[in-house]
Amino acid sequence: MAETGKIVEITDQNFTEEVDNQTGLSMVDFWAAWCGPCRLVAPIVEKLAEDYAEEGLRVGKLDVDQNQEIASRFGVRSIPTILFFKDGELVDQVIGLVPRTQLEELIQKHLVV
């Protein structure tokens, strides 16, 4: 996820490069095309990617149907699930549809630390 402000498609194949090996804060949205709540959270995730690009937030989306290895690795059983990684380490998670304010609180918390 070298470019900030843009959402990167995360896959089983590129997860190490795009998340594990990154410095700073990364937010990964685990979703599926058939998931109604995922469609509702998508514009929130897109807007957060834009709004926090200058602060260095990197945002990725991972389709759980196409990338089951990474979803399994992190125990993702419900979607949407959003995982937060700081310097490649899992630091927080949100399961289900949550308000933008809750996601912003986590972003701000981990951008500062």
- Close Cβ partners of 89 (under 8 Å, ≥ 6 residues apart): none
In this prediction, residue 19 carries a pLDDT of 97
The CA distance from 4 to 89, in Å, is 18
What one-character DSSP code corresponds to residue 66? T
Q: What is the DSSP letter of 87?
A: T
Name which residue leads in pLDDT, 3 or 86: 86
Average pLDDT, the chain: 94
> What pLDDT shows up at residue 81?
98
Residues 79/67, Cβ–Cβ less than 8 Å: no
pTM: 0.93
At residue 5 the predicted structure's pLDDT band, cuts being 50, 70 and 90, is low
For the question of residue 78 being annotated catalytic, the response is no
pLDDT at 4: 45
pLDDT in the model for residue 112: 79
Of the listed 38, 59, 70, 82, which one is catalytic? 38
Q: How far apart are CA 106 and CA 94, in angstroms?
A: 9
What contacts 56, CB < 8 A, 6 or more positions away?
Answer: 4, 24, 25, 111
Catalytic position from the list 19, 25, 28, 35: 35
- Tell me the two tokens of residue 90: 């899992």
The question of whether 31 is a catalytic residue gets the answer no
**Hey, what CATH topology would domain 7-107 get?**
Glutaredoxin (3.40.30)
pLDDT beyond 50 at 2: no
- The arithmetic mean of pLDDT across residues 30-38, rounded, is 97
